[in-house]
Amino acid sequence: MKKRAKALPAPLRFLLVFAFWVGVWWIISAIVGKEVLIPSPPVVTVHLIGLLKTSDFYLSVGMSVLRITAGFAAAVLLGVITGVLCAVSKTADALLSPLFSVIKATPVASFIILALVWINKELIPVFISALMVLPVIHGNVREGIKSTDKELLEMARIFGFSKKQKLTRIYLPSVAPYLTAGVKTCLGLAWKAGVASEVLCFAAYSIGNKLYQSKVYLETADMFAWTVTVIVISVIIEKLLMSLVVGNRSRKRYDNSKKTEKVV
Amino acid sequence: MITVKKLKKSFDDKIIFNGFDLSLPDKGTYYISGPSGSGKTTLLRIIAGLDTDYEGTVEHDGVISYVFQENRLIPSLTAYQNVFEVCRDKEKTTYLLKEVGLEADSDKYPAELSGGMNRRVAIARALAFDHDILLLDEPFTALDGEIKKSVISLIKEREADRLILLVSHDESEADALSCERIEFR
């Protein structure tokens, strides 16, 4: 009888996968043989350490984080409000649905160029991040409310639940998984769109601006170092936010897959 | 008191009620029997005001509590919280959970309880709610012999002065609750 191989611990598995892809990067870099096209991992690491020693790095990172987080937070807030509104009002849904469809279908570059005409360039990353996040959060919240268990709502009606009880006991637990999934998806989206808009609008003290300058001066290693920075910050923010959103709620408690059990 | 006059109800082409009349007093225990699809659950839903798509008159003069065919417990609340939520009375909640044999499991969530345990929470919740009329739709399904007996005697003891309407496939449950019968065909 064959023995099943023991699964590796998660951190070790992560390290091995990470090492594998760094290895692939290194091999490709060696094959290309030109640091200006694809710099090797050690060269990028040296550049990244160099950047970490400058105050400019922290100012740029801080300002980018501030702008993108502000856009993200505003979109989450607005998305929750419009999502609730559209779930409870058919008129609001009919009016707002085409708007969100247009936002989703329009290329982000079009919005960035339009925003360059409309608003202060320092605010463009805030606006663009918000615009990319808004339809997703709106859609998820709307869907979460619409998929609330009708049987639980009937139960609430029979037992005379107040509006507050319905909201906190039935609607919020129903929306929470949808909102959490939306927030998780949108963090990456906000970062990508936010940095892209920084590149195109030359926002002062921004990661996007640094990326653009690296490209202009053909500092490919710097470009890679800034990209690594974006990825690391995005992962850190995602972990932080998820720990905040999910908190200490046990999975079991919020497991809506096991809703009310039918006994007949 | 429940009064149903000339009730007409159909699902697509299937007529469930065609001029059905029913009059029940303020208290008493009644058992609705009949084959599957004869409209037993539908009648309970109409009386409770959950189904309003019918013709005729349905009136009642009291607050309704309901043990649904499904448990309909809130998954994010414990057994205790599910009961407490409808009465806001700690003593009553603790007493009823003890009476249905769930004192030790009151801090567990529905996903952590068996089907029978969840059924008992649903019954305790219906009894905890301040009501005049109790609608029971297959309430004892998934309950074992001894537990079923103790839950039935709890209902008999607490609901003696109220109106109970029971729907069940098991006639022995109606006998145990000393019900008068209403036959559906």
pLDDT band at A149 (very low <50, low <70, confident <90, very high): very high
Residue A1: band (very low, low, confident or very high) from pLDDT cuts 50, 70, 90? low
Q: What is the DSSP letter of A107?
A: -
Span A197-244, pLDDT tens digits: 888 888 888 888 888 888 887 788 888 999 888 888 888 888 888 887
Closest chain B residue to A156, measured at CA: B86
Separation in Å, CA of B147 to nearest CA in chain A: 16
Of A151, A169, A254, nearest to B72 by CB-CB distance is: A151
Which chain B residue lies closest to A160 (C-alpha atoms)?
A: B86
Q: What is the structure's pLDDT at A217?
A: 79
Inform me whether the pLDDT recorded for B15 exceeds 60: yes
Whether residue A144 is predicted with pLDDT greater than 80 in this model: the reply is yes
Which of B47, B60, B67, B76 to mutate to probe the A interface, most A CBs <10 Å? B76
Give this prediction's pTM. Answer: 0.77
Q: What is the pLDDT of residue B4?
A: 94
Compute the mean pLDDT over every residue in chain A, rounded to the nearest whole number. Answer: 85
CATH value at residue A120: 1.10.3720.10
Q: How confident is the model at residue A246 (pLDDT cuts 50, 70, 90)?
A: low
Q: Please, what is the angle between helix A124-146 and helix A55-88, to 10°?
A: 40
pLDDT band at B129 (very low <50, low <70, confident <90, very high): very high
What DSSP line would sit under A197-257, residue for residue? HHHHHT-SS-HHHHHHHHHHTT-HHHHHHHHHHHHHHHHHHHHHHHHHHHTT--TTTT-GG
Residue A206 belongs to a domain: yes
Angle between helices B115-128 and B79-87 (to 10 degrees): 20
Q: What is the pLDDT of residues A157-185, one digit of tens each?
A: 999 999 999 999 999 999 999 998 898 88
- Residue B41, classed as helix, strand or coil, is helix
Q: Do A165 and B85 touch (CB under 8 A)?
A: yes
As given in the structure block, the two tokens for residue B76 are: 């994010």
Residues B18-36 have a mean pLDDT of 91
In a domain, A179, yes or no: yes
| Cβ-Cβ contacts under 8 Å, B71 against chain A | 260-263
CA distance A147 to chain B (A): 15
Q: Which residues of chain B are within 8 Å of residue A170 when distances are taken between CB atoms?
A: 74
H helices within chain A, ranges in order?
10-32, 41-52, 55-88, 90-105, 108-118, 124-146, 150-158, 163-165, 172-201, 207-216, 220-246
For A204-236, b/e burial (b = at least 16 CB within 10 A) is: ebbbbbbbbebeeeebbbbbbbbebbbeebbee
Rounded to two decimals, the ipTM of the complex is 0.95
Q: What is the pLDDT of residue A261?
A: 38
Whole-number Å distance between alpha carbons of A153 and A87 = 15
B185 pLDDT band, cuts 50/70/90, is low
Q: What is the number of domains present in chain A?
A: 1
**Does residue A186 belong to any structural domain of this protein?**
yes
- When the pLDDT of each residue in chain B is averaged and rounded to a whole number, the result is 93
Asked whether residue A36 carries a pLDDT value surpassing 50, the answer given is yes
pLDDT of residue A215: 84
For the CA atoms of B91, B94, B98, B104, what is the dihedral angle to 10 degrees? -150
**pLDDT given for residue A222 in this prediction:** 87
Residue among A157, A254, A263 whose CB faces B142 most closely: A263
Contact between residue A105 and residue A97 where contact means Cβ atoms under 8 Å apart: no
Give the pLDDT score at B115. Answer: 94
**Residue ranges per structural domain of chain B:** 74-130
For residue A264, the model assigns a pLDDT of 29
- Is residue A14 domain-resident? no
pLDDT at A3: 62
B126-146: average pLDDT: 94
DSSP B49: T
A76, pLDDT greater than 50: yes
